[in-house]
């Protein structure tokens, strides 16, 4: 059975930190593919300035095009909003019955995981891979559930907020994003 890691996020915009983590997971964990699930909205990020969802999806597709083990998904564009991970995972399981899906979350999200909608159902039905985030210890109750795995990936602390703000200030940060999306982002924010 194919093993796919679900990496959900706003990707507002996608940057090299996202890509490096996904690359690490493909090469050093047991995943056949990583799917970038672009979230049109996030209940944890109400009021955040979001680039248009189709534009974010386009940026993800351009960024991952050369690596065959990455895929982009717009599944949440077609689900009720706000986007809840439990619904997304249920829909993926129904649609792709021959794939084993695992959820990828950062330590910052793991800390508040028990506040997620139907969090117990997610843990019971899926493996969860928790990757490190600066300033967040990975606190996992002992004993660790068999479905929860700690990832020891390198940390690249780049945020989408940093990327957006720097581009708005006309900073040349082309090496913080995939080269195929730099011009699109720069033009979007600097239309004048």
Residue 121, domain CATH: 3.40.50.620
Which pLDDT belongs to residue 43?
Answer: 62
- Please determine, for residue 120, whether its predicted confidence score (pLDDT) is greater than 90: yes
Predicted TM-score (pTM) of this structure: 0.92
Rounded CA separation 40/12 (Å):
10
Q: Is residue 28 part of a domain?
A: yes
**Number of separate domains in the chain:** 1
Q: Is residue 162 part of a domain?
A: no
Across the chain, what does the average pLDDT equal? 92
For 146, the domain range is: 2-156
Tokens of 45: 């990020």
Q: Is residue 168 part of a domain?
A: no
Q: Is residue 147 part of a domain?
A: yes
pLDDT in tens, 122-132: 999 999 999 99
């Amino acid at each position: 059975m194919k093993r796919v890691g679900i990496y959900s996020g706003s990707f507002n915009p996608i940057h090299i930190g996202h890509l490096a983590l996904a690359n690490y997971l493909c090469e050093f964990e047991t995943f056949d593919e990583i799917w970038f699930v672009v979230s049109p909205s996030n209940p944890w990020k109400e009021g955040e300035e979001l680039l248009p969802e189709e534009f974010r999806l386009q940026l993800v597709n351009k960024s991952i095009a050369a690596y065959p083990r990455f895929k982009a998904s717009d599944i949440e564009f077609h689900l009720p909003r706000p986007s809840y991970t439990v619904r997304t995972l249920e829909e993926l399981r129904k649609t792709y019955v021959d794939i084993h899906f695992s959820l990828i979350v950062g330590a910052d999200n793991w800390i508040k995981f028990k506040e997620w909608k139907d969090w117990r159902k997610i843990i019971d039905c899926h493996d969860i891979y928790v990757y490190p985030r600066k300033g967040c210890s990975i606190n996992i109750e002992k004993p660790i559930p068999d479905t929860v795995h700690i990832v020891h990936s390198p940390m690249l602390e780049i945020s989408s907020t940093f990327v957006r703000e720097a581009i708005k200030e006309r900073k040349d940060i082309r090496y913080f994003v995939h080269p195929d999306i730099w011009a699109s982002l720069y033009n979007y924010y600097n239309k004048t």
